[in-house]
Chain A
Amino acid sequence: MIHVKEIEIKDIEVKLNRKAMIKKYLKFLLIPGWRDPDITAQEYEIEKIKSKRRLFRRFLTPLTIIGIIMVLFCVVLGVFAPWLTKIPLQEVTLPYYPSGILPFEPPSPEHPLGTTFYGYDILARIIWGARTTLSMALVPVIIAQVGGLVFGTISAYFGGLVDSIIMRVVDLMFVFPMMILVIVIAPMLGTDLFTTLTLYGLLFIPFYTRFMRSTVLQVKQMVYVKAAKTGGAKKFKVMFKHIVPNALSPMIIRFFGGMARTILGIASLAWLGLVDQTVANWGTDINWAQEQFTAFMAAVWPGFFIGIATIGFMLLGDGMRDALDPRLHI
C-alpha cells in the first residue's frame, strides 16, 4: 500500500512540473525577450537555441502568420455569420425572390457592397458563403485523403498483384485531365450538392494514393514494423496501428494545399454553373455577375474572397511543410 502511495505522489509532482514547464515554454515562445528569473544566463542561451529548432518557432514565419490570419478571417466570417449580417441566409439564396430591390444596384447604406442577381445583398452572400465554401472544400479533401490513405497503405503493404492492380488504376486516372473529367461527369449525376462534392473527392483519390504509397514503402522497412510482425500482430493491425501513424505527416502537410486547390476547383465548377445554385457560393456569385460590365464590382468582391481563402491555405501549407520537413523549402 505504501509503495502505491509513493508512486501516486510522484505522478502528481511530475504533472505539476509539466504544467509549470508548459507555462514557462509558452511564455518563452510567445513573449519576446522574456526570461525565467530562475535560470542562469547559460541555460537561457541553451533554451534559445533549443527553441529555434522547435516546431512552433519554425512554423511562425511572417508569410505563415499572414496565412493564418487570412484563414482565421474566413473561419470567423463563417462561424459568426448570423451576428455579422442582419439578413438571414434564407433571404439571399435562390428560392427566395426579394421584392422591391433591383438587381445590380450600386452600393448604398442598406447594401454596403451593392446588390447582385435577383437583388440579393452581396455582403450578406459573401459572409454566408464563407461557411459553405469552407465546409464544401472540407468534404472532398477528407474523402480524397482517407481514400488515398487506405488504398496507398494497402497497395504498399501487400505489394505484388494487389499493388500492381491499384497502381494501374491510378495510372489510368492520371492519364485523364482531371478538371475536364469532373466537368464531363458532374452534369450526368445532377446538381445535388453532396453528389458533386463526393465525385470531386473520389476523382482526386489517386493523387494521395501515390504520396501515401511512397511514404509507406519507406516506413515498411523500419525495425519496429518488423518487430510488430514477428510479435504476431495481424496484418491490418500492423498497417493501421504501426505504419499509418508514422506515415501520416506528408498527408497532414498536403491537407492545406489540398484545401486551397479544392476551394479553387469548386469555385471554378460553380462558375461554370455545375454546382447547386441554391447555395450561397462565391463561384456562383461570379457566374451571375460576370456579364455585367456596369456593375462589375459584384463579380470582383466574391473573387477577392476566394483569393483570400486559397492564398491563406496555401501559405499555411507552405509554412507547415517548412516546419515539418526542413529539407524542402517552398
Chain B
Amino acid sequence: MARKQTNMIKYIIKRILFMFPMLLAVLIVTFLLSQMMMADPSMSLLNIGMDEVTLQRELDRLGFTDPVHIKLWKYLVNFFSGDWGVSYVAMPGTPVLDMIVKVWPKTIELVLLPIIIAPIIAVKLGVTSAKHKNKNKDIFIRFVAILGAGFPVFFIAKLLQMLFFNLRILTFEDINLPLMYSNAPEYLGYTSAAIVPPPPLFTLSYLAMLLFLIIGIVLVYKGAVSLKRKVMPLMEKENKSKRTKYLIWGGSLIAICLVLLIILTSFLYTFSYGTGFRIIDAILYNDQHHLWDTINHLFIPVICMVFVSLAPITRQTRSSMLDVIDQDYIRTARAKGVEEKTVLNKHALRNSLLPTSTLIIGNTTAALLGSLFIEISFNYTGLGYYMVRSVFMGDYFVIQGILVFSTIIILVGTLLTDVMYTIIDPRVTYN
C-alpha cells in the first residue's frame, strides 16, 4: 500500500512536470494563431490621422515591427508575469486575466447544477436500460438519450425558449415576486450595481477553500461509514485508529475551511467586494431581487444543459453495464442469493463505472469552459459567450487568453482523471 502510494505521488509529480512543456507548446501555437489573424487590433489603438514618422515610431515602441522570435519571447515573458494583454472590444479596457476572473464564476454558476445532476440521472437511466435490455423501457430510454445527442444544442435551447415563452412561465413579469424580507440595504450603497468583483487572489482562495471543504466532508463521510460497519474482532484495534484518523483529519479540515471562509467573507463584506458568483453575492448582500433574477435566468439553461449532457453518459453506462453483466462473478453473486438490486448496484455498477467516469470528468472539464452554444442562445454572459464575441470582433488578446486558460483546465482535468482511476479501480497501478 505504502509503496503504491509513493509510486502514485511520483507519477503525479511526473505528470505535473510534463504539463510545463505541453503548456509551452500550447503558448507557441496560440501565438502563431494570433500572428495568423488578418486584422491586427493594435492598429485601432493608434490614431489614423497620425503622420507617418510618428506612426512608425509608435509601432516600434509597441513592438509591432519586431521579428517574430522576439515577439514570441515577449509574449512568453508577459504571460508568465501575469500580463495577458488588455481587451479591446469585448470588454474594453479590462485586463484579460481580470476579465476571466469576472466572467468565469458566472459559467461555474450555470454549470454547477448540471455537473452534479446529470451524471446521477444518467447512470441511473443507463442501469435501468441495461437491466431491461431490448424491452420497451430500454428502447424508450435509448431513444430519449439519442434525442439529446442528435439534435443540435442551440435548437433544443430554441425549442425550450419557445415553450416557456408560450406557456408564460418564468418570463420577465414573474421576476417581480413579493419579497420575503424587503430590507435590501440600499442605503448602505450595496445595490447590485455597486458590487465590484474582487482581485483574482480572492476568488482563487475562495475556490480553494470550497475544494478543501468538499475534501473534508468526504473524509468525514468515509470515517462515519467505516464506524457504522461491523468488523471482525481481531481487526478492531487497527481499524479503530484508522477510523478516528479519518474523522480527525476531516473534521479539522472542515473547521479550518469554515473559519477561513468566514474571515474571507467578512473581508469581502467590509470592502464591499462581490465574490463574482451572483447567487452568493445576492445572499451576502441580501438583495432578493438580484437572487430571484439570477435563479430565473438560470432555470431554462440548466434544464437544457442537463438534457444535452444526459445522452452520452447514459449510452456509455448502458454499454459497459451490458459488458459486465455477462461476467462470471455476477453469476456467482446471483447464485449465492444476493438480491438483484445489490447485484446491479454494487457488483456490476462498480466495475462498469470506469469508462463512464472518464466520460463524466471529461464532460465536467468541457462544461467548465462554458457550453458556448447554450451561453450564446440564452445570452448568458459567461466564458463561452465572450469567447465567440471576441472571435467575431477580432479581439485577439482575449482569444489567446481564453484559449490558454481552457487548455490549462483541460490539462488539469486529464491529470485528475488519471488520479481518479486509481481511486475508483484499485487494480490500476502507475509505475
The residues in B between 316 and 334 inclusive whose CB is less than 8 angstroms from any CB of A are: 316, 318-319, 322-323
Q: Are A63 and B139 in contact (CB under 8 A)?
A: yes
Q: Are A184 and B159 in contact (CB under 8 A)?
A: no
Chain A residues with Cβ under 8 A from B165's Cβ? 293
Q: Are B388 and A183 in contact (CB under 8 A)?
A: yes
For the complex formed, measure the closest distance between the CB of B374 and the CB atoms of chain A, giving whole angstroms.
12
With beta carbons under 8 angstroms apart, the residue of A176, A180, A181, A314 that contacts B146 is A314
With beta carbons under 8 angstroms apart, the residue of A175, A180, A260, A328 that contacts B323 is A328
Q: Are A300 and B150 in contact (CB under 8 A)?
A: no
Of the candidate stretches A72-80, A88-96, A101-109, A303-311, the one touching chain B is A303-311
Quick check: is B399 within 8 A (CB to CB) of the other chain?
Answer: yes
For the complex formed, measure the closest distance between the CB of A296 and the CB atoms of chain B, giving whole angstroms.
5
For the complex formed, measure the closest distance between the CB of B403 and the CB atoms of chain A, giving whole angstroms.
7
Secondary structure at the B interface, as helix, strand, loop or mixed, is: helix
Nearest opposing residue in chain B for A190, CB measure: B38
With beta carbons under 8 angstroms apart, the residue of A268, A272, A296, A306 that contacts B162 is A296
> Quick one: CB contact mask for B149-190 with A, threshold 8 Å, 1 for yes?
111111100110010010000000000000000000000000
Q: Are A311 and B146 in contact (CB under 8 A)?
A: yes
Q: Are B150 and A260 in contact (CB under 8 A)?
A: yes
The residues in B between 106 and 158 inclusive whose CB is less than 8 angstroms from any CB of A are: 133, 139, 142-143, 146-147, 149-155, 158
Closest 8 CB pairs of A and B: A303-B155, A311-B150, A329-B322, A307-B151, A330-B319, A310-B150, A175-B407, A329-B319
Can you give 27 contacting A-B residue pairs, CB < 8 Å?
A: A63-B139, A172-B22, A175-B410, A176-B26, A176-B410, A177-B407, A184-B399, A185-B36, A187-B391, A187-B392, A188-B38, A264-B150, A268-B152, A268-B154, A286-B155, A290-B377, A300-B159, A306-B152, A306-B155, A307-B147, A307-B155, A310-B149, A310-B150, A314-B146, A315-B146, A329-B319, A329-B323
Q: Are B403 and A303 in contact (CB under 8 A)?
A: no
Quick check: is B262 within 8 A (CB to CB) of the other chain?
Answer: no
CB contact under 8 A between A188 and B22, given known A172-B29, A177-B410, A267-B152: no
CB contact under 8 A between A330 and B315, given known A184-B399, A184-B403, A311-B146: yes
Secondary structure at the A interface, as helix, strand, loop or mixed, is: helix
Known: A63-B139, A329-B322. 7 other contacts (CB 8 A): A175-B26, A183-B372, A183-B388, A267-B152, A272-B388, A283-B152, A328-B323
Chain A residues with Cβ under 8 A from B313's Cβ? none
List chain A positions with a Cβ less than 8 A from chain B: 62-63, 171-172, 175-177, 179-181, 183-185, 187-188, 260, 264, 267-268, 271-272, 283, 286, 290, 293, 296, 299-300, 303, 306-307, 310-311, 314-315, 327-330
Chain B residues with Cβ under 8 A from A187's Cβ? 391-392
The residues in B between 18 and 40 inclusive whose CB is less than 8 angstroms from any CB of A are: 22, 25-26, 29, 33, 36-38
Quick check: is B366 within 8 A (CB to CB) of the other chain?
Answer: yes
Quick check: is B387 within 8 A (CB to CB) of the other chain?
Answer: yes
Chain A residues with Cβ under 8 A from B376's Cβ? 272
Q: Are B369 and A180 in contact (CB under 8 A)?
A: yes
For the complex formed, measure the closest distance between the CB of A297 and the CB atoms of chain B, giving whole angstroms.
10
Chain B residues with Cβ under 8 A from A183's Cβ? 372, 387-388, 391
For the complex formed, measure the closest distance between the CB of A248 and the CB atoms of chain B, giving whole angstroms.
22
Give CA–CA (A13, B360) in the complex, Å.
59
Quick check: is B226 within 8 A (CB to CB) of the other chain?
Answer: no
With beta carbons under 8 angstroms apart, the residue of A171, A303, A315 that contacts B152 is A303
Chain B residues with Cβ under 8 A from A185's Cβ? 33, 36
Q: Are A264 and B152 in contact (CB under 8 A)?
A: yes
Q: Are B403 and A180 in contact (CB under 8 A)?
A: yes
Nearest opposing residue in chain A for B319, CB measure: A330
Quick check: is B351 within 8 A (CB to CB) of the other chain?
Answer: no
Chain A residues with Cβ under 8 A from B387's Cβ? 180, 183
CB contact under 8 A between A172 and B391, given known A188-B38, A306-B152: no
With beta carbons under 8 angstroms apart, the residue of B319, B366, B377 that contacts A177 is B366
Chain B residues with Cβ under 8 A from A177's Cβ? 366, 369, 406-407, 410
CB contact under 8 A between A314 and B150, given known A177-B410, A188-B38, A303-B158: yes
Chain B residues with Cβ under 8 A from A310's Cβ? 149-151
Quick check: is B353 within 8 A (CB to CB) of the other chain?
Answer: no
For the complex formed, measure the closest distance between the CB of B70 and the CB atoms of chain A, giving whole angstroms.
23
Nearest opposing residue in chain B for A321, CB measure: B319
With beta carbons under 8 angstroms apart, the residue of B142, B154, B406 that contacts A180 is B406
For the complex formed, measure the closest distance between the CB of B408 and the CB atoms of chain A, giving whole angstroms.
9
Q: Are B151 and A303 in contact (CB under 8 A)?
A: yes
Q: Are A306 and B151 in contact (CB under 8 A)?
A: yes
Q: Are A180 and B318 in contact (CB under 8 A)?
A: no
For the complex formed, measure the closest distance between the CB of B392 and the CB atoms of chain A, giving whole angstroms.
8
Give CA–CA (A62, B366) in the complex, Å.
33
With beta carbons under 8 angstroms apart, the residue of A175, A188, A286, A315 that contacts B154 is A286
Q: Are A63 and B403 in contact (CB under 8 A)?
A: no
Nearest opposing residue in chain B for A176, CB measure: B407
CB contact under 8 A between A330 and B366, given known A188-B37, A299-B158, A303-B152: no
Give CA–CA (A330, B322) in the complex, Å.
9
Q: Are B318 and A329 in contact (CB under 8 A)?
A: yes
Nearest opposing residue in chain A for B29, CB measure: A172
Give CA–CA (A177, B133) in the complex, Å.
35
Give CA–CA (A72, B153) in the complex, Å.
24
Give CA–CA (A67, B256) in the complex, Å.
56
> Quick one: CB contact mask for B389-419 with A, threshold 8 Å, 1 for yes?
0011000000100110011001100000000
